[in-house]
Amino acid sequence: MGQITLFTTSEYEPQAFDAVLFRDNLVVCVRADDGLVRLVPVDKVNHVDGTAESILVDAEIPESFYGGAEYGFADTEQFPDLQAHLEDLQGESY
C-alpha cells in the first residue's frame, strides 16, 4: 500500500509513517518496522498524504491499536492485528 506522509509546521521535510491516527487534539504517528511512535499536536499538522485504501474511521480503529482514534490512515499490511480486526468487522452481519 505504501506509507502515509505527514507534513508539519515545524519541519521542512515530510515524515513517512505506516499509520497516522487523529484523536482529539493529538495525532499519533507510527512506524511499524522500528516501533517509532510520534505524537504531534493537531494544530501543528499542515497536511497528511495517504491513499483512499488507507483511510480508517470509527470502529475500524480499535482501542487496542495505539489507543484508537476517531479517524486515520494506516497501511494495514504492516499491522497484522489491525488487519485481523478489519477482517472480523467485515465478517459481522447486521
* Model pLDDT for residues 63-85, shown as the tens digit of each residue: 999 999 999 999 999 999 999 99
- Round to whole Å and give the CA distance between 56 and 13: 25
pLDDT attached to residue 92: 74
pTM: 0.90
Residues in Cβ contact with 62 at an 8 Å cutoff, skipping those fewer than 6 apart: 68, 82, 85
Widest distance between CA atoms in the chain:
47
Q: In the chain, where are the structural domains located?
A: 4-91
Residue 1 has pLDDT above 60, yes or no: no
**Share of the chain residues as helix, strand and coil, in percent rounded to the nearest 5:** 25, 35, 35
Read off the pLDDT of each residue in 10-18 and give the average, rounded to a whole number. 93
Please give the residue that has the higher pLDDT: either 91 or 42.
42
Q: Are 40 and 22 in contact (CB under 8 A)?
A: no
Q: pLDDT for 18-51, tens place per residue?
A: 999 999 999 999 999 998 999 999 999 999 999 9
CB contact set of 49 (below 8 Å; sequence gap of 6+):
4, 5, 7, 14
